Amino acid sequence: MSTRYSTQLQSSAITSITVSSSSSLDSTTRDDNRHIDSDFNTRDSSPSSFLMRLAMRVSRARWFIFLRRVFHYQNGSRSDLGTNPFDSVTWMVSELVALLLQITVITTTLALSKNERPIWPVRLWITGYNVGCLLNLMLLYGRYRQQSQGNGFSFGDIEQQQRSREETRCSHLMNRCRTSLELFFAIWFVVGNVWVFDSRFGSFHYAPNLHVLCISLLAWNALCYSFPFLLFLLLCCVVPLISSFLGYNMNIGSSDKGASDDQISSLPSWKYKLIDETSGSDSAQATDDPECCICLAKYKDKEEVRKLPCSHRFHLKCVDQWLRIISSCPLCKQDLPN
């Protein structure tokens, strides 16, 4: 009887110890979960999240998408160049504004500096540059007219063939004119650099307005000639460094591929629950996907999970970041509904 009584006391003590330990473990896990939630909240409000949102906005901006199109058109394969981005209406309007601004500034400066007497023929160089801008303006008008005629109505077969022949002739002629103009501006740029930066032709004190105008035009041409190199540095050096630092590929993100916040929030989500195998059929729904294929980590209890229309499940934070870059499932590549 005494041995039975002592064993009962020992078993009751063990059960009390296990209950107390389990309660203490529950309290510690709750505290840990609170600390983890607070850490996640602080991470969301950290400067890295702000930089991530800024990088997403930059990668989806129209000017960044246009720069990537230009880089792909200049350096891509000949079989997949696509449409010429320099023939778009936005680029033509920007070219028109730049040409009109240069012609206006040159004409005004030449009219106001009649009394200046430079040593080297700076007036001749500026006049030649102004004539080149006028010819480039006429070429721009021809490009715009050709582009508008290409988007016109369809004609018959014979008329269509004649029209295509005329368009090919006009395109060849415009390409030759553009090549000759580029060659003229390149030679004129070299001549202007020799005359401006040679000490024997120093004429700043005799013609300050013309000298400043010439230096400004040379700087503008130097920026235009270095545009491909600057674009290469931006997309092949700066952007990959930022992408590796933030963990977000800016070259992939675009307004066409990423999903909006409203589309992401409309998808169903819940907190994951670990259910025993002996329970009912609801356990099958919770244990279909034992791990997230994005981060390759198993689901834990009370973790937020999001379900896509293709019935694939992922961590909420993982799939939200994925959908902001590409609006399709990481497994089956099914697109999200609009």
- For residues 155 and 218, state if they share a domain: yes
- For residues 179 and 293, state if they share a domain: no
Number of domains in the chain: 2
Structure tokens at 255: 């307004």
Q: What is the pLDDT of residues 66-99, one digit of tens each?
A: 888 888 777 765 545 567 788 888 888 999 999 9
**How far is it, in rounded angstroms, from Cα 305 to Cα 241?**
31
The whole-number pLDDT of residue 288 equals: 58
- For residues 261 and 337, state if they share a domain: yes
Quick check: is 194 in a domain?
A: yes
Q: What is the pLDDT of residues 42-73, one digit of tens each?
A: 444 456 677 877 887 887 788 888 888 888 77
- For residues 89 and 216, state if they share a domain: yes
The whole-number pLDDT of residue 169 equals: 79
- For residues 91 and 140, state if they share a domain: yes
- Chosen domain end from 225, 248, 280: 225
- Chosen domain end from 176, 204, 225: 225
- For residues 210 and 97, state if they share a domain: yes
The whole-number pLDDT of residue 159 equals: 67
- For residues 266 and 164, state if they share a domain: no
**How far is it, in rounded angstroms, from Cα 289 to Cα 217?**
64
- For residues 214 and 275, state if they share a domain: no
Q: Tell me the CATH number at 316.
A: 3.30.40.10
- For residues 292 and 209, state if they share a domain: no
Quick check: is 183 in a domain?
A: yes
Cα 176–chain centre separation: 34
Is pTM beyond 0.75? Reply is: no
Quick check: is 336 in a domain?
A: yes
Quick check: is 75 in a domain?
A: no
Quick check: is 156 in a domain?
A: yes
**H or E segment to which residue 82 belongs:** none
- Chosen domain end from 167, 202, 225: 225
Residue linked to tokens 């949102």 = 53
**How far is it, in rounded angstroms, from Cα 307 to Cα 333?**
14
- For residues 103 and 188, state if they share a domain: yes
The whole-number pLDDT of residue 104 equals: 95
The whole-number pLDDT of residue 189 equals: 93
The whole-number pLDDT of residue 100 equals: 95
Which residues fall within 8 angstroms of residue 298, CB to CB, at 6 or more apart?
290, 291, 292
- Which stretches in the chain have pLDDT values below 50? 1-45, 79, 152-155, 255, 277-287
Quick check: is 8 in a domain?
A: no
- For residues 193 and 284, state if they share a domain: no
The whole-number pLDDT of residue 34 equals: 47
The conformation of residue 71, written as its DSSP 8-state character, comes to: H
Residue 186 belongs to domain spanning: 83-225
CA angle, corner 161, sides to 157 and 167, nearest 5? 140
The whole-number pLDDT of residue 156 equals: 53
The whole-number pLDDT of residue 280 equals: 46
Quick check: is 4 in a domain?
A: no
- For residues 128 and 204, state if they share a domain: yes
Quick check: is 46 in a domain?
A: no
